[in-house]
Amino acid sequence: MSETHKANLMDSTLNKPIRVGILGFGGLGQAAARVLAGKQEMIWVAAADKQGWAYNGTGLDPDRAIATYHNQGSLGYLEPAGTLSNNTIADLIENAAVDGYFLALPNLPNTFMASVARQFIQSGWRGVLVDALKRTSAVEQLLAMKDELQEAGITYMAGCGATPGLLTAAAAIAAQSYAEIHSVKITFGVGIANWEAYRATIREDIAHLPGYDVEQARQMSDADVEALLDQTNGILTLENMEHADDIMLELAGICSRDRVTVGGVVDTRNPKKPLSTNVQITGRTFEGKTSTHTFTLGDETSMAANVCGPAFGYLKAGISLHQRGLCGLLTAAEVMPHFVR
């Protein structure tokens, strides 16, 4: 990275719009671009997919970017901001002045997010990274890199979507009523009108089904996924998932990970949620009483809203921490997100 780009990255303050990049431009990445379009405190300037990247320091147009991606298959064809590339992430890091990136990437294979973090470390880039990781093992890989992230001057916010993320943070706050936490139970309902808009997300969910693992789900063709969904009438019922809420709550000192359970229902053929998303925190108060707090998300909020909104709230919090010199790895259970106007 050139000294000019390093200087540009260090020049950002909260008095200026936060320059945001999005890595991954599938359903989640496109939703993130739309969310950013309504923000005054953030400006979407960069994005990358598998085949290309786009950068405009004064801002990208989500409508044009999404149309280009759908019509031509890559942001690399976006005129005049796009560039086709065989090494999109590295090229974008090198050429774009970005304060923080939202990693809207699939964690297939399970080592992928850690490998992306390593690219940022090796590039010399300094700033904030935010992900919406699901799996406990993926967060464990990032934990092993926390010293490297700190030395590199990167503030990495892990597990900052809906679950883990929004619901994990709610559990951490609700836990304050108790002297001891007995259990944290997260139940989610997701409705998607067209599963193909969220191919990677659905494959990650399939990886949690009995008889499947991450590698099997990654190797499934679209036809294989369609066949499975035909068998289940489009419904995926997920129980006792390997979800990073457990390690995040354990790291935050809320409870041991064996007291955290995550499961839910995904309807891939209906935008209406099959059930309400909620987290139940059960514990013993200092008076010796057992009680349960329940935090329920409104059914009208979509998966995209409940993932992207918190992700950018945590990105803003991460920028504040980074400017104060706090680098390394943090999770959604340790930091409050900042509302982004």
d(CA 280, CA 294): 4
Q: Which is the catalytic residue, given 204, 243, 293, 322?
A: 204
CA-atom Rg of the chain in angstroms: 20
Contact 109, 214 (CB under 8 A): yes
Which residues 6+ apart lie within 8 Å of 134 measured at CB?
107, 161, 164, 204, 241, 243, 244
Please confirm, yes or no, whether 204 is among the known catalytic residues: yes
Q: Which is the catalytic residue, given 16, 185, 208, 243?
A: 208
d(CA 228, CA 307): 26
What's CA 284's distance to the chain center, in Å? 32
The token pair that represents 122 in the structure block: 């090796």
Q: How are strands ordered across the β-sheet holding 328-331?
A: 82-84, 52-55, 42-48, 18-23, 100-103, 127-131, 154-158, 328-331
Please confirm, yes or no, whether 273 is among the known catalytic residues: no
Contact 9, 99 (CB under 8 A): yes
d(CA 240, CA 238): 7
Number of neighbouring beta carbons within 10 Å of residue 219: 11
Q: What DSSP assignment string belongs to 47-58? A: EE-SSEEEE-TT
Return the closest-CA partner of residue 249 out of 157, 186, 168, 163.
168
Please confirm, yes or no, whether 5 is among the known catalytic residues: no
Q: Which is the catalytic residue, given 5, 50, 134, 148?
A: 134
CA distances from 91 to 66, 107, 111, 128, 231 (A): 21, 21, 21, 18, 42
Catalytic residues: 134, 204, 208
